[in-house]
Amino acid sequence: MAVLELTNISKHFGAIHAVNDVSLSLEAGQVVGLMGDNGAGKSTLVKMIAGNFRPTYGAMKLDGSEIVMHRPVEARQHGIEIVHQDLALCNNLTAAANVFLGRELHLGVWPLRILDYAAMYKRAGEIFKELKSETRPRDLIKQMSGGQRQAVAIARTMLSDAKIVLMDEPTAAISVRQVAEVLNLIRHLRDRGIAVVLISHRMPDVFSVADRVIVLRRGRKVADKPIADTSPEEVTGLITGAIEQR
């Protein structure tokens, strides 16, 4: 059964139809590559799943029941996690502090509640180990490599039992060696049974890690097929419009 099912979703900003009548479903333990040119509607679509925008038309079903979200926090409560393109990390804080940002662990009861540093360092350390990352919980973000930063952003999604992880261009601004590291992190999420949506411009990344590819053009879905049944050439054609919908 599909974890998330979008039926005829549209988002209009005044006269601009950013996303038009898109239906798709995400399966547990599957990586879906979401591709399309700039302005094709990728970001808008993802922002609707993440609770930033409400669809103008259409329905969203999570585990078979319809959901309506007004704020990003609600998406998180539903088990939908996002790794933002700029990673949303605070350079002046430690890795552990960033992993737990917005959901810190506490000791004691209000008003005598204090941050539970030991527990947060421990849990963050365990997650980094599980991700096979060299990131250390007490290190400051500003002294980390691009790959380590990605690991911190991804570790956030593993705090709760996420069902869906949306990744916005995770390999856009990092070195080749670190790309391999990030792709491994994505495979790791998949093996945990999470549905991963990988938004990317990089054809090799999508073809090495995704199970399925969805192509958007001008707000419409023009392809949705298993990665084995397609080729980078065909996807490029679909993105640019050289190949019509199929």
Taking Cα atoms as reference points, which of 116, 147, 118 lies closest to residue 131? 147
- Partners of 36 in the beta sheet? 216
Is residue 187 within 8 A of residue 205, CB to CB? The reply is no
126 near other proteins (CB under 8 A): yes
Question: With CB under 8 A as the contact rule, which of the stretches 34-42, 76-84, 182-190, 208-216 interacts with other proteins?
Answer: 76-84
Taking Cα atoms as reference points, which of 217, 232, 211 lies closest to residue 36? 217
Question: With CB under 8 A as the contact rule, which of the stretches 135-143, 162-170, 180-188, 238-246 interacts with other proteins?
Answer: 135-143
53 near other proteins (CB under 8 A): no
- Separation CA 102–CA 86 (nearest Å): 17
241 near other proteins (CB under 8 A): no
- Choose which of 138, 177, 193, 233 interacts with other proteins (CB under 8 A): 138
The residue (of 127 and 222) whose beta carbon lies closer to other proteins is 127
Angle at 141 between CA 135 and CA 145, to 5 degrees: 60
Strands 212-217 and 16-27: unpaired
Question: With CB under 8 A as the contact rule, which of the stretches 68-76, 193-201, 216-224, 232-240 interacts with other proteins?
Answer: 68-76
92 near other proteins (CB under 8 A): yes
- Separation CA 49–CA 52 (nearest Å): 8
Angle at 117 between CA 114 and CA 118, to 5 degrees: 125
- Separation CA 23–CA 6 (nearest Å): 5
136 near other proteins (CB under 8 A): yes
The residue (of 154 and 238) whose beta carbon lies closer to other proteins is 154
Question: With CB under 8 A as the contact rule, which of the stretches 40-48, 111-119, 178-186, 196-204 interacts with other proteins?
Answer: 111-119
Taking Cα atoms as reference points, which of 76, 20, 28, 34 lies closest to residue 51? 76
State the minimum distance, in angstroms, from the CB of residue 147 to other proteins.
Answer: 16
86 near other proteins (CB under 8 A): yes
State the minimum distance, in angstroms, from the CB of residue 177 to other proteins.
Answer: 21
Residue in the block written with tokens 């199970």: 211
Chain positions contacting other proteins, by CB under 8 A: 72-73, 76, 82, 84, 86-93, 97, 101-104, 106, 113-115, 121-122, 124-126, 128-129, 136-140, 143, 156
